[in-house]
Structure 1
Amino acid sequence: MAYDYDLVIVGAGVGGHGAALHAVDCGLKTAIIEAADMGGTCVNRGCIPSKALLAASGRVRELQNAHHLKSLGIEVGGVAFDRAAIANHAQAIVTKQREGLIGSMKRLGVEIIHGRARVAGSQKLIISTPEGEKTITAEDIILAPGSIPFVPPGVQTDGKTVFTSDDAIKLESLPPWVAIVGSGYIGLEFSDVYTALGCEVTMIEGLDQLMPGFDPDIAKLAQRILITPRDIETKVGVFAAKVTPGSPVTIELIDAKTKELVEVLEVDACLVAAGRVPFAKELGLETVNVELDRGFIPVNDQMQVLSEGQPVPHLWAIGDATGKMMLAHAASAQGVIAIENMCGRKREIDYRSIPAAAFTHPEISFVGMTEPQAKELGKKEGFEVAVVRTYFKGNAKALAEAESEGIAKIVYRKDTGEVLGTHIIGMHAADLIQEAANAIAKRESVRSLAFLVHTHPTLSEILDEAYKRAAVHS
């Protein structure tokens, strides 16, 4: 049978884009379908604009820190900033990235189709466009529909006084007092931006501790560095049961366990950063007997879509909608894995070696298992877990920069020395983590890593010291 394309990708986010590029390298005639903006969440409403806001607000924070600058022998006068100009900077980066993404696909001959697609049976898609519906066929289909912000029941958004990260990224205002619902990556990063630019923040977390997804040691230190010294009030163990837009915004807080009303807050604005949910409905998956799993598209580690546990021929899914790791680079990696498998080269995704970062000041990064997760695995498989910590305050480069707050923590097997996880908070943590991610990908031991040579004086020596310290005790 002749198909219109070798491969059609539904969704032009970072995952879909990465898959398209690799597909072209593998000689596949490829099309990509996008219903909204090319580049998806990451380019338009996530990674890219948020890093631009963090870069600008971080400079403001640094220049306003007279004590820190004085320790370097520097004195500055008053620091001023233009909110609109910072917002425009972020939007300019978005436009540049989006145009670059579109340009790269056009140069490689990837056909871009604007419309909303749904599966219409094996190897067939129906695309709804402003001009009407059309059907196309492909030997293989990759679904990369992405995710959207989660708005809990009882929360009303108006995009102005109560909003998600999709609106916060525009930085249309700097409310004097902002409540942030959630203390994950998004909540932490926006608390960094808002406090640097003079806002007061109240952070609301439903679980008993802030930053529940992070390693406990890192979460504890992050609170001391990123929360306590700043104009941030925290409320844990409470849910924002009802949030009503207006002036002021009212937030009814209930106890997470008893569900009793604890307090009613009145603030100027509320950012809902309670996570993200898959955008996987209305994809027509029922036509190939696929049921969503808690809203996510079920896949195996080769990225094949599953129906009752078995792969659906020629149908693949990647990115946030699979629910594996909601990270742009994870989606891109999944895309490459899917292409490799459809080309007959069996590969499986290794989630343990995919790093993550929060681009706060200082940054937080991690890869692999937290200490509790590693101990749970050790208990199951019969090995002991060991931990080693090294400190930025002992690193020459960090001292030269007068940025000595932070630690690196390595979690490893005591018997083999295999690195199971690495967690860093400190200057350039997001860059430092890649070395550890590569080590975990190769299942390296601290005993061999201890003999690697690191440039002096650099921050990378924090990991060098940790490897050496761990090797002595393993």
Structure 2
Amino acid sequence: MREGAPVRRSGRSGEEWSRGSSQVASSRRLVGQRAAVRTTQLVGGRRRDSSVGDDAAGADDGQRRGDGGLDGQHMQSAAVVCFGSGSGGGKVAVEGVELWKCLKCTPSSPPPPRRRCHSQIRPPGSRFLLRQSLADAQVLRPPERGVWGGIGSGSQAVGFDCGAVEAEIGSGGGGGAKASENGSAPAKGFDYDLVIIGAGVGGHGAALHAVEKGLKTAIIEGDVVGGTCVNRGCVPSKALLSVSRRLRELQNEHHLKALGLQVAAAGYDRQSVADHANDLASKIRGHLTNSMKALGVDILTGVGTILGPQKVKYGKVGFSDNIVTAKDIIIATGSVPFVPKGIEVDGKTVITSDHALKLEFVPEWIAIVGSGYIGLEFSDVYTALGSEVTFIEALDQLMPGFDPEIGKLAQRVLINPRKIDYHIGVFASKITPAKDGKPVTIELIDAKTKELKDTLEVDAALIATGRAPFTKGLGLENINVETQRGFIPVDERMRVLDKDGNLMMLAHASSAQGISVVEQVSGKDHVLNHLSIPAACFTDPEISMVGLTEPQAKEKAENEGFEISIAKTSFKANTKALAENEPEGLAKMIYRPDTGEILGVHILGLHAADLIHEASNAIALGTRIQDLKLAVHAHPTLSEVLDELYKSAKVSANVSSPVAEPAQA
């Protein structure tokens, strides 16, 4: 769910930073001195500048000065990059940043080669080289502080933009460290170019991309490869949802009769269903492990803790710890279920999604606290298996994270016809597990007045109130990373935002964020447009979305002074949907009629989770509706739902130039 759109802020490329006196942070000579580091944090949409001065922790003096007879005459930098869990508030101090002026460089000198500075080899331990020669007695503005990261099943990175310098990562062997299986050798003085803590989807994506970039990479995992998504999240849940969809179809006599089918009463075996989910998780876990090993990623087993800049320990309980060093560290430790105060989880009758996926029993009546993605998907599973469901939602409407129109349709299709009732505008202030023959008891209080409204007695309760980042015990204090509620908020370049963050806790988002961080670490200014990342709820029928909801788009339009329009199309007019006897569905597009820019697309219907990617790619690439109107879609396919959607949009006839930039909040 996206509670708000990320704040957008403009940035400068490395070449812009290295151009002109306006980018000069100081005019003092920095031979053998430390440079104050200017940092910027967006707070409430405003810039707040601060500095990390001479007391910032860094490399030892020998590393700062380098060796090889250069005696500090060339620029050096030591830094830490972390990849943390979730999105939220916080700030990070740039660690050990050292800027050293090159006395050999002058404004008239040609730009030095990437790995040399006027024929001089970069000093060992140095992380950055100049993009452009430094003027005498001047220092380019150091890189701004930033936080790179993702949410998803829990990935987030902390670090800083290279700014006027370009990263030199994985450029040579040294320090006696062995090359990894892919043939790359670590930067001199380090065991690895990159160490990733957490082998979930985010860490996996970052690791594979790092190897592609030529970085010697290790990944540390204290549990099992695959993280939340593969073992306790999207993978096993989709196995259960696949069963529930087929079972629901076999039990729908009216639907089958319309297709001319006659099927005897359908049932299920609970343990076999649970085994199907577990077997799928095991298979995907093996795929992830093998893909990393095949590319030469070293998988280090144990709980990882950051000891300081560029140093991590890992190990198992009862065994001695191991310590590795890396030029960059990524924290991809994921998230855990969030359980509000007053709720006692016993793992049997009061459960989280982690427990529910094991399907150890199917209750006759289960209360689901929270009506977001997790709650809605489990309601689909439980009702198909025969349970009665009661939703408990703190807000005044069900499915508050969806576009309101899609949410109302989802309630009509997914809630009202099924054995589901609900309480809205209430908190579950206290939940007590079943014990000694007594049922689970739930006390409901008014969300506004906090007065007791009702007490429920059910067979089980599923807590689906979201997830929290897993950052405790990672040693973040050792690198001066502060969190708020465990989160570190970031902008589209993964830099520190404000206390709210508001990025997506989705597995594929975390993978994209991990790849983006590796791009930044490798010296490329990569911007990940989170508004182009799709999301899906795998109910029957499915719900998918990308970009802004209608209320969000209206707010953006009002603030920026433009108009929006809405286009809609029904699945009832689609040949393939009618052939499948699945005509219930709606596709909705929010767009700018003056430019043809897509602001958001929302779909409820058959295979909505697959259909959304065409719109997602259009937003990511800035493709105009005018161009999409001319695209050809195979007939008869569900993709024609989007074809009709584009063709029904009314765009100004005089628009001919492409959208300048993908939609941003």
TM over 0.5: yes
Q: How many angstroms apart in 2 are the aligned matches of 1:447 and 1:308?
A: 37
Letter in 2 for 1:16: G
Q: How many angstroms apart in 1 are the aligned matches of 2:494 and 2:557?
A: 28
Q: How many angstroms apart in 1 are the aligned matches of 2:321 and 2:497?
A: 27
Q: Is the CA contact (8 Å cut-off) linking 2:596 and 2:651 kept in structure 1?
A: no
Q: Is the CA contact (8 Å cut-off) linking 1:446 and 1:471 kept in structure 2?
A: no
Q: How many angstroms apart in 2 are the aligned matches of 1:354 and 1:90?
A: 26
Which residue of the other structure, out of 254, 259, 267, is the alignment partner of 1:72? 259
Q: How many angstroms apart in 2 are the aligned matches of 1:135 and 1:254?
A: 50
- Counterpart of 1:278 in structure 2 is 469
Q: How many angstroms apart in 2 are the aligned matches of 1:307 and 1:212?
A: 24
Letter in 1 for 2:465: A
Query: Which SS does the other structure have where 2:396 is aligned?
Result: coil
Q: Is the CA contact (8 Å cut-off) linking 1:278 and 1:323 kept in structure 2?
A: no
Q: How many angstroms apart in 2 are the aligned matches of 1:334 and 1:412?
A: 26
How far apart are 1:210 and its partner, in Å?
Answer: 0.3
- Counterpart of 2:280 in structure 1 is 93
Q: How many angstroms apart in 2 are the aligned matches of 1:90 and 1:162?
A: 21
How far apart are 1:472 and its partner, in Å?
Answer: 5.5
Q: How many angstroms apart in 1 are the aligned matches of 2:484 and 2:456?
A: 36
Paired residues, number: 462
How far apart are 1:361 and its partner, in Å?
Answer: 0.1
Q: Comparing 130-139 with 83-92, which one deviates more in the overlay?
A: 130-139
Q: How many angstroms apart in 1 are the aligned matches of 2:326 and 2:605?
A: 47
How far apart are 1:70 and its partner, in Å?
Answer: 0.5
Q: Is the CA contact (8 Å cut-off) linking 2:337 and 2:468 kept in structure 1?
A: yes
1:123-155 superposed Cα distances (whole Å, 9 cap, x missing partner): 111224231222211011111111100101100
1:331-390 superposed Cα distances (whole Å, 9 cap, x missing partner): 010111111111112101110100000000000000000000001000111001111110
Please state if 1:231 is matched with 2:397: no
Question: Please, what is the CA RMSD of the aligned residues?
Answer: 1.6
- Counterpart of 1:315 in structure 2 is none
Q: How many angstroms apart in 1 are the aligned matches of 2:292 and 2:633?
A: 38
Greater relative CO (CA pairs within 8 A, separation 6+) = 2
- Counterpart of 2:571 in structure 1 is 392
- Counterpart of 1:106 in structure 2 is 293
How far apart are 1:116 and its partner, in Å?
Answer: 1.5
- Counterpart of 1:289 in structure 2 is 480
Q: Is the CA contact (8 Å cut-off) linking 1:180 and 1:202 kept in structure 2?
A: yes
- Counterpart of 1:367 in structure 2 is 546
User: In 2 relative to 1, CA 307–331 (structure 1 residues): closer, same or farther, beyond 3 Å?
Assistant: closer
User: In 2 relative to 1, CA 118–148 (structure 1 residues): closer, same or farther, beyond 3 Å?
Assistant: same
- Counterpart of 2:173 in structure 1 is none
Query: Which SS does the other structure have where 1:335 is aligned?
Result: helix
1:190-242 superposed Cα distances (whole Å, 9 cap, x missing partner): 00000001000001100000000000010000000000000001111111110
How far apart are 1:323 and its partner, in Å?
Answer: 6.0
Q: How many angstroms apart in 2 are the aligned matches of 1:294 and 1:226?
A: 33
Query: Which SS does the other structure have where 2:596 is aligned?
Result: coil
1:151-192 superposed Cα distances (whole Å, 9 cap, x missing partner): 011000000000000000001100000000000000000000
Q: How many angstroms apart in 1 are the aligned matches of 2:422 and 2:630?
A: 43
- Counterpart of 1:4 in structure 2 is 191
Please state if 1:221 is matched with 2:409: yes
Which residue of the other structure, out of 325, 329, 349, is the alignment partner of 2:528? 349
Unaligned runs of 5+ in 1: 310-320
Please state if 1:402 is matched with 2:590: no
TM-score normalised by structure 2 residue count: 0.68
Please state if 1:252 is matched with 2:443: yes
Please state if 1:426 is matched with 2:605: yes
Please state if 1:133 is matched with 2:321: yes
Q: How many angstroms apart in 2 are the aligned matches of 1:473 and 1:217?
A: 26
Q: Is the CA contact (8 Å cut-off) linking 1:290 and 1:307 kept in structure 2?
A: no
Which residue of the other structure, out of 197, 206, 209, is the alignment partner of 1:22? 209
Q: How many angstroms apart in 2 are the aligned matches of 1:330 and 1:380?
A: 27
Q: How many angstroms apart in 1 are the aligned matches of 2:501 and 2:488?
A: 5
Letter in 1 for 2:378: F
- Counterpart of 2:82 in structure 1 is none
- Counterpart of 2:344 in structure 1 is 156
How far apart are 1:427 and its partner, in Å?
Answer: 0.3
TM-score normalised by structure 1 residue count: 0.95
Unaligned runs of 5+ in 2: 1-124, 126-188, 654-665
Q: Is the CA contact (8 Å cut-off) linking 1:297 and 1:323 kept in structure 2?
A: no
- Counterpart of 2:592 in structure 1 is 413
Q: Is the CA contact (8 Å cut-off) linking 1:162 and 1:245 kept in structure 2?
A: yes
Q: Is the CA contact (8 Å cut-off) linking 1:383 and 1:414 kept in structure 2?
A: no
1:115-130 mapped onto 2 (5 Å cutoff): 115-130=302-317
Which has a greater percent of helix?
1
- Counterpart of 1:314 in structure 2 is none
Letter in 2 for 1:161: T
Q: How many angstroms apart in 1 are the aligned matches of 2:440 and 2:514?
A: 42
Report percent identity of matched pairs: 62
How far apart are 1:322 and its partner, in Å?
Answer: 7.7
